Amino acid sequence: MSTTSLSLDDIQALAQSALVANGCDADNAGAVADIVTRAERDGSHSHGLFRIPGYVKALRSGKVNGNARPRLSHRSPAILHVDGDGGFAPLAQATGLSALADAAHQIGVAALSLTNIHHFAALWPETEFLAERDLAGIACTAYMPSVAPAGSTEKLFGTNPISFAWPRPGKAPVCYDMATAAMAMGDVMIAARDGKSVPPGTGLDAEGNPTTDPALIAKGVLLPFGGYKGSAISLMVELLAAGLTGEAFSYEAAIRDNHDGGPPRGGEMVIALSPALLAGPGWEDHVEGFMDRLTALEGVRVPGARRHANRKDTGPRAINAELVETIRALI
């Protein structure tokens, strides 16, 4: 794979230009470009520029509103809702997350439901936003069906990611973001693009047979991680992201989507919890005692540590050259 060296500013500008050239206004393009740049900065290539062609497809087909004006409302002191106005998720998130953090600081726990959005990015930016403000965060979203519930060979669940973050004042937070599929479809797609195989248990082909060929899995079904227990977590994500927001379940998203290759309309649920209010003074030291034990174990990595280490490098990033050319051709 040949690569092109791009600074983080170059990455941001490339994403912004591609989105603006295809109908996004500056606010919507900026919010998406910011998320894409932070993914590349952290080494999460599958949520970086790799997603731009899909974002552009959704703009070109008219499915997504590039001029969305998300609207925030309070349904109670602890319940916030953002109607994303049919746009991409990042501007809707930027509209709601500060209010969510404020509510959680005041009342101890708060929930933000996002509807009428198109989510095509990582979830850690949402939970990390909360953790940077001394809150624990949980975020979930559904997608289009690609995962067979445990015991089945038919897809019903989305890859259904869940993100969790825990604040560590003065340190990088604990923060993970993982598909409840055995592998994220983004990573399956990258493996297929790069001609690599994937581990057994990742998925089934279109006939329901096990395979390690990511291209066949992309046409078949993914499996949940961890068998029926992982399937139970995926079910929880589907119910929180769709049942609790009132937005589309993965199967509904697929029925309603125009299949332009961009993200379908869906919902997201973000929950924020205040350790200061729940556990009271001294919670930081109490948790650091536990984290000291965790990090002292040989072979254990704090979730998010690799991303946070990558982030310290502010230099240019090596981006797939073919991808860069593809994106430039969209401008």
Beta strand pairing call for 3-6 and 317-320: antiparallel
Which residue from 61, 132, 172, 283 is in contact with a copy of itself, where contact means CB under 8 A? 283
User: What string of H, E and C letters represents the secondary structure of 253-287?
Assistant: HHHHCCCCCCCCCEEEEEEEECHHHHCCCCHHHHH
CB 63 within 8 A of CB 258: yes
Which residue from 170, 207, 282, 312 is in contact with a copy of itself, where contact means CB under 8 A? 282
Smallest distance from a copy of itself to CB 318, Å: 26
Catalytic residue among 45, 47, 118, 119: 47
Return the amino acid letter for 329.
Answer: A
Catalytic residue among 10, 25, 34, 46: 46
Smallest distance from a copy of itself to CB 2, Å: 31
Stretch of residues binding a copy of itself (CB under 8 A), selected from 36-44, 211-219, 277-285, 307-315:
277-285
Contacts of 250 (CB under 8 A, 6+ apart): 142, 143, 144, 145, 146, 156, 157, 158, 160, 238, 242, 266
Q: What is the number of residues in the chain?
A: 331
Q: Which of residues 182-241 bind a copy of itself (CB under 8 A)?
A: 225-227, 229-230, 232-233, 235-236, 238-240
Which residue from 11, 32, 97, 110 is in contact with a copy of itself, where contact means CB under 8 A? 110
Report the distance separating Cα 15 and Cα 230, nearest Å.
34
46 catalytically annotated: yes
**x-marked contacts with a copy of itself along 19-48 as a string, rule CB under 8 A:** ------------------------------
Stretch of residues binding a copy of itself (CB under 8 A), selected from 22-30, 55-63, 174-182, 258-266:
174-182
187 catalytically annotated: yes
Stretch of residues binding a copy of itself (CB under 8 A), selected from 25-33, 63-71, 118-126, 295-303:
295-303
Residue closer to a copy of itself, measured from CB, 32 or 240: 240
Which residue from 2, 207, 297, 312 is in contact with a copy of itself, where contact means CB under 8 A? 297
Smallest distance from a copy of itself to CB 259, Å: 19
DSSP character string of 144-185: SS-BPPTT-SS--B----EEEEE--TTSPPEEEEE-SBSS-H
Which residue from 2, 207, 280, 315 is in contact with a copy of itself, where contact means CB under 8 A? 280
Grouping H, G, I as helix, E, B as strand and the rest as coil, residue 110 is strand
Please tell me what DSSP assigns to residue 243. I
Element spanning 73, H or E:
strand 71-76
Which residue from 88, 263, 303, 330 is in contact with a copy of itself, where contact means CB under 8 A? 303
Contacts of 55 (CB under 8 A, 6+ apart): 18, 19, 32, 64, 88, 120, 262, 263
Q: Does 259 bind a copy of itself (CB under 8 A)?
A: no
- Which residues are catalytically annotated? 46-47, 187
